Structure 1
Amino acid sequence: MHWRSKFKIFVTGLAAVLLVSCAGTATTAARFPTRTRVWPNEPEGTDEPRIAFVQDLRGPRDVGRNPSAFRAFANWITGDTGENLNLRKPFAVALDEAGNLCLTDTDDKLVCYADFTHKQWRRYAKVGKVRFASPVAVARRNGIFYVADSELGKIFAFGDDGKPLFEIAAPLQRPVGLAIDGGSLYVVDSQAHGVFVFGLDGKFQFQFGRRGDGPGEFNFPTCIAVNGRGQLIVTDTMNSRVQVFDLRGNFVSQFGSNGDTSGHFARPKGVAADSAGRIYVVDAIFDNFQIFNPEGQLLLNVGQSGAGPGGFALPNGIAISADNRIFVADAFNHRVQIFKYIGQP
């Protein structure tokens, strides 16, 4: 349609739009469609479904942030669909105390914050005057964002306004994973083959790990999580295993090995634990996530290569809310997939 025709429609419809907008704009809640997929797909005997697909999250509209009637009409006139704010390559995900979602986009080189409480979507491309180069991990506590940039070799801390609070550089080389417990920030460094621990004020506390394949040693680790037992769970990626430590870095246990069948790993990346202590491990090669009990025994695997519900294309980060909603960064499908644990506790 020619722009002049659109303009005529705009003028004639403007009054009606203003009347609607003056009456108040209804904001729809985030989309949570009827369950379209469950796992296991075909339960046998008493094996009931445990995981249900809930929704995709691709951008502002999926947190309930819809434009006003006037803005929607103006966007139609200009042809602006709002898709320029959508995710391009989501990489890491994390949840804050309120259950709101932090994520990084390594293609757009920014950090996004999906505030489900206030239906807001915020984006941060820089801290102060420093632009992100490769934001690969994020955490948030007490209103402060902590972002690991692997290319810059730093952790950046900043507030909601995007103003820098402090940064952590040396002794870090290539920080790639973050987790917070209590007053400590745990940082996985893939190039140093270890974990560095700092206070939430950025002050160094201690470190553990070195390169190797023995207990407590790493070969390019990537992600870290804290479970309800007060234990650290680290994906030891190139050793194709998961290692568990106490909060002081003392080795507790390990599980997994290289292989192409369920219970094995090809490229373990994101890791998280739910309210019952079950451990979820994303595998970027398998295009799925596997669920283990706290002792490391396989319970279920979810997903496969694809683009539909439960289909993945290079998944990476994972985070789990207090009510067992599961958020998985699905990088090349340009979305975060949300699932729900629906089985028995």
Structure 2
Amino acid sequence: MPCSAAFIQATDRTSYSAMNLSSKILKNTTLQRLYLFLIILLIPAIHFIPVNTFAQECINTKFLFDVKPNADQPSDLAIAPNGDIYLVDGINNRIVVVDSEGRWKFEFGTEGAGNGQFNRPLGIDISENGNVFIADTGNHRIQAFDLKGNFQNAFTVRTGSQQTRSDPVDVAVSKFKNYLYVSDNDNQKIRVYDRSGNLEFEWGKFGEGQGEFRYPGIMAINQINEVFVVDVLNTRVQKFDPFGQFITSIGIWGVLPGKFFRPKGVAIDKQNRVFISDSYMGVIQVFTDVGSFIGIVCDTGKKRTFNTPVGIAVDKNNRLLVVEMRSNKITVLKIL
């Protein structure tokens, strides 16, 4: 089944008002294929969730500030070693960089297929030594930059015996052997590369079993190099060891605490708690690293709702940063 058809069938509960919202994207057939990942899966329909659904389980936070960098449906972000925030503004084919307080610093990237150019990038991660890796989705590749946005190198993500090009949607950097983990949304796989772009190994196939995926998306890696993969249409996050061996699964389908409708982002804090955003329900839930539900992100004791939360991160100052896609901003909260 074509990727786009699978997306449409899998979202029959949702409103297609999202399509009208992003009609300018759909005028281009290439973007239609690439950005169904954002338009249909990441933009929720308006629906009713009981006010008290999450009333008793709160992870309290304090609002600090918003960052509004004139982005258009941003998808992901990453934190540099110095605290700077790098935001993927894929529709504008650029990376926006602000400091830790949200003040504008610079941007890099233009539309195209050359070195340092982008075609609708979606995912990002930054290594401890300051290498910035971008999932350049429409160009079927991973690009690497320094912290100033200077191009370093790139490699194409390919699949199968025919070595056809894939559309990577995220990249995650591991300290374990300097591996780069790439989520291949088209082929339901996680591909693992060295820093030079040589494929080391891969795992996954379409399905609902352990280690199988229905559109893998954003990833996170904890302090002991375990890999957490948002398995979007299986409404769960799967946890693997560095070699792709299944460990556990977090969440099932639903709208009650500990369940997901459209999980999108994942981040891990210093306590090894797992934060997971749900773009449909507009909330962020928190779990132990073995999958036990802890609570929901709250503000003054009440459930905090976000406008299509997608990529998230927790920085060294224990702040939660949330990309609110439909509001075109980053929300920064202090975890109390």
Task: Give the alignment's TM-score, normalised by structure 2.
Answer: 0.73
1:51 and 2:61 correspond:
yes
Contact 1:193-1:219 within 8 A present in 2 as well = yes
- Pick the aligned partner of 1:325 from 303, 309, 319: 319
Kindly state the Cα deviation for residue 280 of structure 1 after the two structures are TM-superposed: 0.6
- The 1:48/1:310 distance shift into structure 2, 3 A limit, reads closer
Identity rate of aligned residues, in percent? 28
- The 1:93/1:161 distance shift into structure 2, 3 A limit, reads closer
Task: Show structure 2 runs of 5+ residues with no match.
Answer: 1-51, 159-164
Alignment of 1:138-153 (within 5 A): 138-141=124-127, 142-153=129-140
2: CA distance, partners of 1:282 / 1:199: 29
State the match for 2:332 in structure 1: 338
Task: Give the alignment's TM-score, normalised by structure 1.
Answer: 0.72
Kindly state the Cα deviation for residue 94 of structure 1 after the two structures are TM-superposed: 1.0
Alignment of 1:201-220 (within 5 A): 201-220=196-215
Contact 2:121-2:137 within 8 A present in 1 as well = yes
- Pick the aligned partner of 1:177 from 147, 170, 189: 170
What root-mean-square deviation, in Å, do the aligned CA atoms of Structure 1 and Structure 2 show? 2.7
State the match for 1:132 in structure 2: 118
Q: How many pairs does the alignment contain?
A: 271
Q: The residue matched to 1:329 in structure 2 has which SS?
A: strand
Kindly state the Cα deviation for residue 161 of structure 1 after the two structures are TM-superposed: 5.0
2: CA distance, partners of 1:43 / 1:254: 24
Contact 2:87-2:97 within 8 A present in 1 as well = yes
1: CA distance, partners of 2:220 / 2:289: 13
1:278 and 2:273 correspond:
yes
* AA in 1 matched with 2:92: D
State the match for 1:154 in structure 2: 141
State the match for 1:93 in structure 2: 77
Query: Which of 1 and 2 has greater Rg?
Result: 1
- The 1:256/1:204 distance shift into structure 2, 3 A limit, reads same
Q: Deviations over 1:217-244 (max 9, x none)?
A: 1110101101123211111111111110
Kindly state the Cα deviation for residue 87 of structure 1 after the two structures are TM-superposed: 2.7
State the match for 1:251 in structure 2: 246
2: CA distance, partners of 1:324 / 1:118: 16
Task: Show structure 1 runs of 5+ residues with no match.
Answer: 1-39, 60-85
Q: The residue matched to 1:285 in structure 2 has which SS?
A: coil
Alignment of 1:101-120 (within 5 A): 101-116=85-100
1: CA distance, partners of 2:66 / 2:249: 32
1: CA distance, partners of 2:68 / 2:170: 23
Contact 2:214-2:232 within 8 A present in 1 as well = yes
Deviates most, 264-273 or 294-303? 294-303
